[in-house]
Structure 1
Amino acid sequence: MPEYSDIEMTRKQLYEEIWSISVAGVAKKYNLTYAHLMKQIKEAGIPIPASGYWTKLNFNKPVTKLELPEPADEKVAISRTIPSTRKKKQQIITDENSGRSAKDAVVAESSPTLESSALQVEGQILFPSTTKKDEPSEVAQMIGPPETYEQFGRTYNIYDREILYNEVWLAPVTEIAKRYAVSDVAIRKICQSLDIPTPPVGYWAKLRADKPVTRIPLPISSKPTKKSGARTGTDFTPQIEKETLSFLNEEDRRVILSVATQIMLPGENAKMHSTIVAHRRAITEWKKKHKEQESRGYNRRSMDTTLFLADAVSEESLPRVLHILDALIKAMEPLECSLTNDLRFIVNGETVSVSVTEAQDEIKHIPTKEENLQLLQYEEDKRRNTWASKPKIRKHDYVYNGRITVSVYSAKSFRDCKSYVIEERLGDLMIAFYEASDILRQEREAREEAERKRKEEERRKEEYRQRFNEEVDQTLMLENLSEDYDIACKMRRYIAAVEVSGNFNPKTIEWISWAKAKADWYDPTIAREDELFGRRNHKKNADQKKLERNRYKWW
């Protein structure tokens, strides 16, 4: 017989414990069964964390804590039960696995306790004893570290068939994968190669709900009992779901989600959006003109550009598609969205394109009267031994079947299926437009940033080119100035040598005066102006400022 004892506490105390260590944590703390405790919590009217609460809390995401309704100080009695069901459950498992070895039986006897230790937080079976990811789980502490060895600077795991079999039935594969520092896919492949059965889908959910489960016995196998594999360092981390419309501020996001949940398809007799009406008329004119061009033998390049929806859907499905687009634009126009003439949506300043296609069924082609005549003529020519080419008649026809697919900016698609039709997902379509607009915004900003960097690089290169050319000009100018200065210095040394000789006469004295004036004319530091030559342009090169005789010109 089970033993009973009551635990008394206020509703406030129980509420605080549930929201700090979870219902499963409270059950473990007071040695209660999870299902029995949940029943008593519901009877006491105490709110519990929603599914995913602990995962969001673990990744520092915003969570909502439900308020405890009054009276908070009311006493509640929680009955503590030492269940005998586990012994019954163990007896079932032992009876089914009676053909196993004694070692398996010992492990089976201890497995229910270890299994329960792997379920400490609702919706978070990966970290059994705590909501903190970095702390080791109770399963890892009970089983111990896996056997490994080092080779060529890498760590390798040794997978024992019996040990791994017991591990995958004690905790989820993702938890076991963490211990071996590999992915859960790698553990499943190892189990398959060692012929190890793994828990079926729903096994851990049933165990968490304290429902009876059956452990598949380890079969006799001729495969190896051990296998080694490298540690990849892969660790399981729950994927953080991206919040819908997270790029918007909270107020805009709330408004858009509210509109998306209330969007409805207008009635068949409702007046359509003016832009859609105009586009439908354009489609009618295009089809009429297209038929005329085909009858005149125009090739495809000569024909007018195909309009949106003109040849993507059948005549029967066109009104339906236009009604879908009409419902979307009417719901989004109050949110400052608009529609272009070619039925593209302008959302948050970005032009979002939409494509619509209709699926086709393949049916066997039934030859027309003209095709039958061609075949008869071909057979007649063959009978008369006359050369003839067999007419090319297609074997299949493709007809529209009414199943529509709508793609928003080639990023997200919605199609008719057995579960729903597109009209039932108008809200999701609307959200897809906003998400596509954010993708377009990011791509546009990336292009603009790339263009800005390109122009900045061109500006920098142009500045460098100008500075380089200026430096070249200044250097050449210095070279030209120094050459003129050298010429002036050479002249002065020669004049000094003439003066030292002492052979002076009036003509020599006059020459010395003239020569000094010419040296001053060459000297850029003096830059004397000559009566005939004017001022010398010292900055020019030798060829440009070379003295030449004034030749007689005929004209």
Structure 2
Amino acid sequence: MRRSAAWPTREALYELVWARPSEQVAAELGVSGVALAKRCAALNVPKPPRGYWAKRAAGQKVKKLPLPVSSRPKKKSAAPRAPYAAPPVNSEVPWPSLVQATDRGYRDAPVDVWGRLERPGRGQVLDVMVSREALPRALQLYALIMHGLKRSPVALVTERGRTLARAGQDEIRLRIKEQVQARDGLPLLEPKYASPWNAPRPQKAVGTGRLQLLVSVPWQYGFGDYAVQFRDGKVPLEEQLESMLVYLQGVPLRAAEEREVRRQQEEARLAEQRRREEEQARLAALQAERERRRQETSACRESLHDLARQWEDTERLRAYLAALDRGLLESESVGSEAYREWRLWAGQQLEEAPRRQVAQIRSWATRVQEMTRWEPMK
């Protein structure tokens, strides 16, 4: 097991790194230079800057940094971000009825923990996730989009809580969403319905005023992830209106292209499925042929053993009858007439046994001949 280094105290480590170069101090402590640097950083011990020892050896005047009071290094704080200045709402474009209905629906909507307005439970409203301050601008963006799509086959509609840009049977989903920023000291949010089990929840974030237009395309079970995002940045969304309209007006063409791609993918999938089924059928037929050949080979082998056993029985019977003919059994003891008839029948049976075996051998020889003509299995 590797033993940990016996580090000196913070003050002693400070004196060491300012008395000799770090390579010598690390060698004395039995650690690497990287480990020494990490230890100094953890204890907030300043080290000589690059070139310090060369200047000191040349007799130049160098400055020794003092040891900080605290052993905890100061964390670099991010520069405060300037609040986003949203452009003013332009009232030149009148609001369509759907935009006005959305404005009425969100008028008394409560705020969720992220500082956005909760969606009304009733009524057809546009899909927005914004704060109360950003709601007029979001609705104005929808009004600009609807005004720009008036002369195109694409129209903005709402259906089952979704805002859709629809052209015939082709559609994509739209949503305007506001970016939020976490902030401490926000008020508690009273629940919509007061009850002993429903306590106020603290608000976690507030809106920044930066809006996004999120676009998601149809998927197998609804709509997938956002495919395109238009964001507020150096250029506000209002100045990106032309790009948004060009994208939305291309819905039918892109949908046709996507259908063609899906058709090709479906054909490729079906072709692959047929290939797999044919391959499985071929492997099943191959396995069945292997099993048939195995059974045929086993049956021929068993028939050979059966013929050998029949031959043994015939030879034993022939020997037995020969022994009887030599006088092993007196015919008078069973009756001369009865014995002669039985002996005649036994001789006939003995003569028929080879003929039966010949027929069996001929049948099995034919089967073995077929086995020799089998093609090799792949």
Q: Return the TM-score normalized by structure 1.
A: 0.29
Rg: which structure is higher?
2
Q: Return the TM-score normalized by structure 2.
A: 0.39
Structure number with the bigger relative contact order (C-alpha 8 A, sep ≥ 6) is: 2
